[in-house]
Amino acid sequence: MTVQKQNKSGDGVIDENLRRVYEEAVEEGIPDRFKSLLEQLKQQDNDQGRSQ
């Protein structure tokens, strides 16, 4: 096997692993605590917009 073919094969393995890790992260979703913090930040932004 040539070095170029080995690199392509290695790149494929890396690509596959990155896709798998990404999919797992997406499936985990956002923890409730982060959702709550985001909601608080939105509310603060809305309150500041009204007072200006």
Alpha-carbon span 12 to 24, nearest angstrom: 18
pTM, rounded to two decimals = 0.45
For residue 30, what is the DSSP state? -
Note the pLDDT tens digit of each residue in 11-42: 999 999 999 999 999 999 889 999 999 999 99
Residue 51's pLDDT band (cuts 50, 70, 90) = confident
Q: How far apart are the first and last CA of the chain?
A: 68
Cα dihedral: 38, 41, 45, 46 (round 10): 70
Alpha-carbon span 52 to 39, nearest angstrom: 20
